[in-house]
Structures are given as structure tokens and as C-alpha cells.
């Protein structure tokens, strides 16, 4: 099949949103276990900005085209793909290449988009829902009736975690950087939200849990937050570290790890072996999709930008003005 080069987004050099450029890239034919997908929507995530800045390079062999999640229509199957057919609507977790009109994806990390879920919504699911399910539920073991504190309540990860925690009957407390964002987080399902710029989240977190502390903490900040998380967490608590926006080094008193009997866990998603991602995909399809469709845990879409307006989309991400997901849409999405 002779397929023309596809419009794609790359970072021409490390820098701010202004370094993002639209280029034409040739796509190889899909190999064993792969599919070609005509992209309708792609979610924007903080790791995309880190890659643009030169701080999060793609794994070896992965395209430099940005984007870690997409939704689109299957147009071509590679060898050994039997679970999908051309014309199927799918959402996919990718290690790169989602900011494009077309992408090559691994069939094992695709989920069929169910009826009633738009391509825009589906484009904002894989990266955040996979990350939250893996870290908050599989690794940190959040259960019904427990309390979780999450830093960054209106981020894509924060909103997703709030929706899923509420869906299983857990209590969510968030931290946010303004009173407005705190109100937005509560409206989305958090029981309480702490303005970390005007309040001490350790003191308020204790007060909100009758001195016990939350059962689980999800942190993407790192740095000085790591000691404060250890001080706040409840006995037998679990801390899930999913990023280090403030840096991965800190002078820590690790005593609480022992006398509180804590579990400290962390993971990244992008560089995991395909077999691990495939297993996570199955878990999300079986356990998370029902929550999305039946328990009001659909992704919250903050804003939608055309692929050509990717600089504006990244500027919104940089400003931290968003609540929920920022989505890029292609011409295919506009065509319906």
C-alpha cells in the first residue's frame, strides 16, 4: 500500500511550546502484531512537555514524534493481528507518535472504543487511566473505604484518580495551587482539597483524617514533598511515586518507613516491556472500562485544539490553567 507521508509534530530543538513544528513523516508498514491507525484524537500529557524540553527522550527505536496516547480508526493490519479489523475504532497507548494524522500501534495495547464514548474522550484515556490504575490500584492497592491524598488534583492524572477513587467508594483528598482549582477538584468528586500555596498539606491532611493520615498518597512532585509524605501517611500506608517534577533527590529521614510499616512504590509506563503493557491493557479493559461507562468516571475534557495549534495546546499545559485533559484533534476527527 502506497501511503503518503503523514503530518506529525516534533520538537525541532529543546525549548518551550514555540519549538513544536509540523512535519511530514513516512510511516513504515505495520509489522507483526502492529496496526496502522488513522488518528482522530491524541491526549496531551506532562511527559510530552518534558520531551519537548529535552528532559525525557523516547526509548531507543521509538519515533521522535510526540504523543503517548491516541484514539482512531484501524486502516491496515500487520501480520498476526486477528483481534481487530480495518474500520474498528480503537484507543491505544504508544511510546511515541500520537501527535500525527496516522500512527503505527501495537495491537496488544489497544482497546476497542465502546459505543457511547467519543473519539475525543477516548483519546484522553490510555496514558492517564493506565497510569492511575497501575499505580493507585494495582501497586498501592487502594480499596473501598480508604482515603487517598493526591498532589495535583486538577491535572489529567489527578482528575482521573479522583473519578476512579470515587467510583470504587474511596475518599479522595487533593492538593491544588489555587482556591479556584480546589473548588474544581471538589466539584469533580474530591471530598476535600488543600491549597498548598496557603496551607500546610501535612497539618490539614492530618486534621481531615482525625490525626491518622491518608492510607495512600500519590505524588508526582518529589523533592521536598517526599519527606512530608512520609510524615503524613498513615501506619501501614502506601506511597505511589509517579513523577519527580521537583526533582528526585532529597535529604530524607526514612525512619517512618520502618515504624509506620510503609510501602513505597513507583513506576514509569513508557519504557515498560510490551508484555507488561499488554497485561495492563487487559486489566484496564476488564476493570476500568465498566467504571468509565457505568460509574460516571469518563475523562474530563478541559479543551480541544487542532493538530496545527499544538503550540497553543502546550502553552495551556505550561500555564497549569487546565482541569482535566487537553486534547489534540486531527482532520479525521473533524470529518466525523
Cα angle 319, 151, 240 (rounded to 5 degrees) comes to 130
Question: Residues 6 or more apart from 150 whose CB is under 8 A from it?
Answer: 157, 158, 161, 162, 172, 173, 174, 175, 217, 218, 219
**Average confidence (pLDDT) over 199-228:** 97
- Quote the pLDDT of residue 335: 81
| pLDDT for 336 beyond 80 | no
- Quote the pLDDT of residue 310: 98
Q: Residue 95 CA to chain centroid, in angstroms?
A: 13
CATH of the structural domain 129-266, one choice from 3.40.50.720, 3.40.50.300, 3.40.50.1470, 1.20.1090.10: 3.40.50.720
**Average confidence (pLDDT) over 175-196:** 97
pTM, two decimals, is: 0.93
CA distance 184 to 178: 10
CA quadruple 293, 300, 178, 157: dihedral positive or negative?
Answer: positive
Which band of pLDDT confidence, cut at 50, 70 and 90, is reported for residue 315?
Answer: very high
Q: How many residues does the chain have?
A: 336
Would you list the domain boundaries of the chain? 6-125+299-335, 129-266
1-16: pLDDT as tens digits: 455 689 999 999 999 9
Phi, psi of 89 (to 5 degrees): -90, 125
101-147: pLDDT as tens digits: 999 999 999 999 999 899 999 999 999 999 999 999 999 999 999 99
- Quote the pLDDT of residue 271: 83
Region 6-125+299-335: CATH code: 3.90.180.10
- Quote the pLDDT of residue 2: 57
What Cα–Cα distance (Å) separates residue 208 from each residue in 143, 153, 174, 228, 234?
A: 19, 16, 11, 16, 12
**Among 110, 98, 106, 88, CA closest to 44:** 98
- Quote the pLDDT of residue 242: 94
CA-based end-to-end distance of the chain: 24
- Quote the pLDDT of residue 334: 84
- Quote the pLDDT of residue 237: 98
| pLDDT for 253 beyond 70 | yes
CA distance 316 to 263: 35
Which band of pLDDT confidence, cut at 50, 70 and 90, is reported for residue 63?
Answer: very high
- Quote the pLDDT of residue 321: 85
Phi, psi of 245 (to 5 degrees): -65, -25
**Average confidence (pLDDT) over 19-25:** 97
| pLDDT for 290 beyond 80 | yes
64-105: pLDDT as tens digits: 999 999 999 999 999 999 999 999 999 999 999 999 999 999
| Structural element, H or E, at residue 104 | strand 102-106
Which triple of cell numbers denotes residue 261?
510499616
| Portion of the chain with pLDDT greater than 90, in percent | 94
Amino acid at each position: 500500500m502506497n501511503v503518503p507521508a503523514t503530518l506529525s509534530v516534533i520538537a525541532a530543538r529543546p525549548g518551550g511550546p514555540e519549538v513544536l513544528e509540523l512535519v511530514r513523516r513516512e510511516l513504515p508498514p505495520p509489522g507483526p502484531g502492529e496496526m496502522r491507525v488513522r488518528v482522530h484524537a491524541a491526549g496531551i500529557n506532562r511527559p510530552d512537555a518534558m520531551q519537548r524540553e529535552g528532559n525525557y527522550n523516547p526509548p531507543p527505536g521509538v519515533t521522535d514524534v510526540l504523543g503517548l496516547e491516541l484514539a482512531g480508526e484501524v486502516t491496515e493490519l500487520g501480520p498476526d493481528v486477528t483481534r481487530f479489523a480495518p474500520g474498528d475504532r480503537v484507543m491505544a497507548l504508544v511510546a511515541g507518535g500520537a501527535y500525527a494524522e496516522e500512527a503505527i500501534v501495537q495491537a496488544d495495547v489497544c482497546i476497542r472504543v465502546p459505543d457511547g464514548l467519543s473519539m475525543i474522550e477516548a483519546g484522553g484515556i490510555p496514558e492517564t487511566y493506565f497510569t492511575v490504575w497501575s499505580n493507585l490500584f494495582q501497586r498501592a492497592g487502594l480499596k473501598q473505604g480508604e482515603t487517598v491524598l493526591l498532589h495535583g488534583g486538577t491535572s489529567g492524572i489527578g482528575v482521573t484518580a479522583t473519578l476512579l477513587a470515587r467510583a470504587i467508594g474511596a475518599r479522595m483528598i487533593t492538593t491544588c495551587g489555587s482556591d479556584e482549582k480546589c473548588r474544581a477538584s471538589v466539584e469533580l468528586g474530591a471530598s476535600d482539597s488543600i491549597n498548598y500555596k496557603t496551607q500546610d498539606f501535612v497539618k490539614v491532611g492530618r486534621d481531615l483524617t482525625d490525626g491518622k493520615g491518608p492510607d495512600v498518597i500519590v505524588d508526582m512532585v518529589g523533592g521536598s514533598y517526599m519527606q512530608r509524605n512520609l510524615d503524613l501517611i498513615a501506619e501501614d500506608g502506601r506511597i505511589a511515586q509517579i513523577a519527580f517534577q521537583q526533582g528526585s533527590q532529597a535529604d530524607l529521614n526514612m525512619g517512618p518507613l520502618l515504624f509506620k510499616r510503609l510501602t513505597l512504590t513507583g513506576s514509569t509506563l513508557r519504557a515498560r516491556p510490551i508484555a507488561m503493557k499488554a497485561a495492563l491493557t487487559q486489566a484496564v479493559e476488564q476493570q476500568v472500562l465498566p467504571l468509565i461507562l457505568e460509574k460516571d468516571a469518563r475523562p474530563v475534557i478541559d479543551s480541544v485544539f487542532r493538530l496545527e495549534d499544538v503550540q497553543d495546546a502546550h502553552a495551556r499545559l505550561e500555564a497549569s490553567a487546565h482541569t482535566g485533559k487537553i486534547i489534540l484533534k486531527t482532520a479525521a476527527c473533524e470529518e466525523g
